A and B are shown apart, each in its own frame.
Chain A
Amino acid sequence: MALVLVFMCIFLTGCWDKVEIDRNAFVSVIGVDVGKDIRNKKALEDVKPGEPFGERDLKRLNVTFAFPDISKYTSQNPEISSDKFVKTPAYSMEDALSNAVSKSSRTLNLGHSELLLLSDELLQYPEQIKEIADFLSRSPLVNRTMYVVMTEGNVEEFFNFNIEMEKTLGTYLTGLMESSKRNASILPVNLNEFLILLGDNGNAIIPAIKIDKDKNEMLIDGIAIIKGYKHVGILSPQDTTVVEMLRGKLISGKKVIYKDKVPIDFEIDNLERKIKVTEDNGKLLFKINIDIEGRIKEYKVDRELFYDDTIEEIEKYFSNSLSEEGQKIARRVQREYGVDIFGFREQITKFMPSTWEKVKGDWEKAFKDAEIDVNVDVKARRIGTRK
């Protein structure tokens, strides 16, 4: 009996990790922007590892944590009215987190964040990106499935932007990402994929968003290309569909050609990509073969599609147009940015390891010098419910 009592005293007295749900703020969006001291590289140059550093007030980053305002949330009115923000300058992500906690009445919980916004200016500082990536990968609590997006302009502008469709930025953007299955002009990248891409060689692609000030709209602005932890360029939303096609990732999307001044809309249902690599005198030749299946959605009421020849002809036009488009964009990415976003490197390392041994010393050069040949084969399987 005495033993039982002793045990009860010891083991039932406290819970260190108790979590009160109303003391928690579940961060939905993390926005990271540059701070005013980011250019001040000298400040850190002469600091020795053993020196006390903590007291220095360096504002290298500006971090915003947004969390839904659940104060007005009731069972009668189950709606989140708006986001609340905690904004803090900091020298690192962890510092930002502790600053934010000291500023707010609640504990910030990153476990359910949906979105990570990185400003394009921040992406000009590779060292900072490396630090942020390390924080995100090291922390056991960060949600690895949140989406990563680059903002063109200050992150803050996006937080303050008044979205018509949704009440909060997080829901709006994650909704956009998830609808990418219908609309291929956005390429969703989650933190897990982002960290894997960056960790490999510092190259990655993430979707970019911008605010059109004239129209007062928030827009998807294609894909930001990151090379060596640094933002080097942007591909337009129209290009995104093609890039996804070249990556073999396109699940669904729409393409159009004009025949006899009539637009013919074609919806892609299925896509299969194969890469063939051949090596000729040290020069690489990448052949991308893409098989597309889909349906014709729109033509003209006084014309008929229900003939083998017509369908075949249209298929041929689509094949040519898509091949050319793919070729053009592949070349552009290759020449302009020298970043392999199509998975050629993986293809060589996996299936041609001996070739990889030869080119791995200067992969970028090998990639830039390589010949890329895109070949699309379109098959229209369905034409709707009209002849």
Chain B
Amino acid sequence: MDKDNYITSYGFIATIIVTVVGIGIFSYPRELAAMVEGDVWLETIIAAFINLILLKLVVAAIRANGFRTITDIIKTKFGSIIGAVILIIMCLPTFFAVSLGMRAFIEVVKMYLLSKTPTEFLIAITIIAGVYIVRGDVKTNIKFNEITLWIMFVPAFIVVLFTLNHTDYTNILPAFRQDIRSYLYALPTAAFAFTGVEIVYIVLPKLSNKKDAFKGIRYSIIFIAIFYIIISITSIAVLTTSETKKLLWPAIDLIRSIEIPGAFVERWDGVVMCLWVIFFFTTFSNGFTYSAYILSDALPLRDIRFSALILAPFIYLVAMYPNNITELYSVIHLIAPFNYVINLLIIPLFLLMLGKSKNNNTRGEEA
């Protein structure tokens, strides 16, 4: 295999999936059910389409620039100083998203698992674990993603199977009864649940089979959408719409209300929570890698290990910033649009326009 194009299609799909599916899945059913009640599935499908269109744009932009790395493209187009500024702007939303996501994760952990352990300590050790994996460069990360994909989703689907005898799927009815405005308002929330897709900027240039890049993206987005739909619909089927709207993390309470007849283990939520630590950690490690990777070229540090160390204290500071859970979620909702507008709309459009004019060698297209 080519030394530079080492990512397999499976690694590519796994990376997108584990990066996108994170701690947001716990609150996703509530956020959407609050706006569109049982029509969560519809909203998720539309959101997945929007993301696919945006990602198509990203793939086209990178293709037009000959599949070079994003830092390379931007630096040659804009020069090293303006390029560096643009790169930093690109990595900032992701950086904020992972830092705040970390805080949300820690809040869940503190609520259900380790109530007396100080927040600072939990954040610090998660960052250190993150730094450790980021130092291994993108390659390590991809391998890690390939392994965790199975660890994450096999138990998750098994858990959903256990809920089946408590479900009443008619709870998602009535369908299509909401105000058209609530569908529109809910759309950004649903679309932003796919935050993390910007990871394609750094994995795409290293993909071995670039021809089928978009196919891989399509598979992963469909997978994520199906997973979101299953979790949301099961939450509503078990807890009803009105209860789903009231609980902070319906997906967790869904597991808490499982009772397996005859099973010798009670309270499955503890087991599942431990497994789902990985859900967060992959989101974090990939987002962290993305930020560190771009930052290392922007500054220029030339080594992802330095940039990871530079970012670590800032992640800590951002994660500690929100005063409480309410503030945390309002800040998270504030950051998400920036990520989409900058990384998935403005940058690809720019690259597409500039790329067309100087379309030189397309590296690895035929590989």
Contacts and interface: CB of A to CB of B under 8 A. Distances in A.
A192 interface: yes
A16 B116 contact: yes
B111 interface: yes
Contact of B242 (A15, A16, A200, A353): A200
Contacts of B266: 112, 143, 145
Contacts of B117: 15-17
Contact of B259 (A17, A111, A145, A195): A145
Band of interface residues on A: 20 to 34
A16 B112 contact: no
Interface string A331-373: 0000000000000001001110100100000000000000000
B253 to A, nearest CB: 7
7 A-B pairs with least C-beta separation: A350-B173, A353-B174, A192-B257, A16-B117, A16-B116, A145-B259, A17-B114
Contacts of A15: 117
B183 to A, nearest CB: 16
A126 interface: no
Contacts of A196: 239-240, 242-243
Interface of A: 11, 15-17, 111-112, 137, 140, 143-145, 190, 192, 195-196, 199-200, 346, 349-351, 353, 356
Contacts of A16: 114, 116-118, 121
Contacts of A17: 113-117
Nearest to A357: B177
B267 interface: yes
A196 B239 CA distance: 7
With most chain B CB atoms within 10 A of its CB, the pick from A111, A190, A196, A353 is A196
Interface string B212-256: 000000000000000000000000000110110011000001001
B170 interface: yes
B125 interface: yes
Nearest to B270: A111
26 contacts: A11-B125, A15-B117, A16-B114, A16-B117, A16-B118, A17-B114, A17-B116, A111-B267, A140-B111, A140-B112, A143-B256, A144-B257, A145-B256, A145-B257, A145-B266, A192-B239, A195-B243, A196-B240, A196-B243, A199-B243, A199-B246, A200-B240, A349-B173, A350-B170, A351-B174, A356-B174
B114 A351 contact: no
Given A11-B125, A350-B173, A144 B242 contact: no
A350 B168 CA distance: 12
Nearest to A7: B128
Contact of A353 (B125, B171, B177, B257): B177
Contacts of A137: 246-247
A190 B173 CA distance: 24
Nearest to A192: B257
Given A16-B121, A196-B242, A200-B243, 7 more contacts: A17-B113, A111-B267, A144-B257, A145-B257, A145-B258, A192-B239, A199-B243
Interface in B80-139: 111-118, 121, 125
A144 B173 contact: no
B274 to A, nearest CB: 13
A235 to B, nearest CB: 23
Nearest to A191: B257
A112 B116 contact: no
A349 B174 contact: yes
A144 B268 CA distance: 11
Given A112-B267, A144-B257, A351 B173 contact: yes
Contacts of B111: 140
Contacts of A111: 267
Contacts of A346: 170
Given A144-B253, A145-B257, A200-B240, A350 B115 contact: no
Contacts of B242: 196, 199-200
Contacts of A144: 253, 256-257
B259 A190 contact: yes
Contacts of B171: 350
A112 B269 CA distance: 12
A192 B170 CA distance: 18
B258 to A, nearest CB: 8
Contacts of B247: 137
Contacts of A199: 242-243, 246
A84 B177 CA distance: 53
A339 to B, nearest CB: 17
Interface string B264-293: 001100000000000000000000000000
A315 B165 CA distance: 31
Nearest to B238: A192
A17 B121 CA distance: 12
Contacts of B113: 17
Contacts of B257: 144-145, 190, 192
With most chain B CB atoms within 10 A of its CB, the pick from A11, A199, A356 is A199
Nearest to B177: A353
Contacts of B118: 16
A196 B115 CA distance: 26
B215 to A, nearest CB: 39
A315 B253 CA distance: 44
A11 B118 CA distance: 13
A11 B257 CA distance: 35
A259 to B, nearest CB: 37
A28 to B, nearest CB: 12
A143 B267 contact: yes
Nearest to A15: B117
A353 B113 CA distance: 41
A287 B112 CA distance: 45
Nearest to B166: A192
With most chain B CB atoms within 10 A of its CB, the pick from A111, A137, A145, A349 is A145
A200 B116 CA distance: 33
A145 B117 CA distance: 27
Given A196-B243, A199-B242, A350 B174 contact: yes
B257 to A, nearest CB: 4
Nearest to B261: A178
A113 to B, nearest CB: 10
Contacts of B125: 11
Contacts of A11: 125
Nearest to A181: B261
Contacts of A350: 170-171, 173-174
Contacts of B258: 145
Nearest to A352: B174
Contacts of B239: 192, 196
A10 B240 CA distance: 46
Contacts of B170: 346, 350-351
A174 to B, nearest CB: 11
Contacts of B253: 144
